[in-house]
Amino acid sequence: MRKKLFLLLTAVIFSLSSFAQNQDSLTLVKARWQKVRVAKQLKLFSYHFTDKKLFNANEHISFLEVKNNGRKAVFALAAEEKLLLTTSVFAERDTAIAAINGNFFDVKDGGSVDYVKVNGKVKNTNRIAKNGERARHQQAAVVIAGGQMAIKKWDGMEDWESRLTAENVLLNGPLLTLNNKDEVLDTTSFTRLRHPRTAVGIKPNGRAILMVVDGRNENSAGMSLPELTKIMKWLGCIDIINFDGGGSSTLWVKGLTENGVVNYPTDNKKWDHDGQRKVANVVLIKQKR
């Protein structure tokens, strides 16, 4: 009797979970996204989910969808070895049309704590933990060659990043999904709790999505990494990588707001576009001439 009751309760819980997930996926894909054509092969999508309709929370999501073929809209990196600059300063300095914040960095002394190579020049190398193990954000990378972006997974070798042949390499993570197969995530608070998030995904047709989810505000709760993985998959991505998030999460598009920031960065603890955090590097989208 007890075994039957246990199995029944398990089935009910599974059904409720599946129902909630289906409802969330329908809520996401059926949303009337605000769409802006930024440039050829580049569109901005944004939507504010209110009344706790997504994952039982309010969520503000912005993402760029890019035709990732290296023709009209091309990817690039910008980085400083020691300085920290806002995403908008990086973008304006490098005459980009859009940008997102990059990987994890040294808040005190500046510069990335992960390997970064820009136009063939190594800007930063990995800072390995005392136990000799790589951080989760050193086990995957965004690589850019000929203006096209791809996501790569660490092969377990010590010199992996130095063997990546692309001229632009940005280690980041954790890797969430590769070839439509979800990676195993740890159970730390970074993974489980909701935070502002930045992520990149690649769809089967090669198109890239650059996403920012706002958080730490009653208007937008932020997301856990499993939630972030779900929404990226519901939008069609089969390769997904997490970037530095929290106060760093920034999506910039030229000319769309007074300072170009289209999301709501949290460093000033206000619901506005002025709370950018200075970062070590960014992913740029530039218009090929």
What are the average pLDDT values for consecutive 10-residue runs of the chain, which has 289 residues? 49 45 88 95 97 97 96 96 97 97 96 98 94 94 98 97 97 98 96 98 97 98 98 97 98 95 96 97 93
pLDDT for 4: 53
pTM across the whole model: 0.92
pLDDT for 12: 39
- CA–CA dist 222, 194 (Å, integer): 5
Of 60, 118, 77, 28, the C-alpha closest to 282 is 77
pLDDT for 10: 45
pLDDT for 192: 97
| Residue ranges covered by each domain of the chain | 1-30, 32-287
Position 203, amino acid? K
pLDDT for 20: 58
What are the DSSP E strand ranges found in 80-231?
98-101, 116-118, 121-124, 140-145, 148-153, 168-171, 175-178, 181-182, 197-202, 208-213
- CA–CA dist 123, 55 (Å, integer): 39
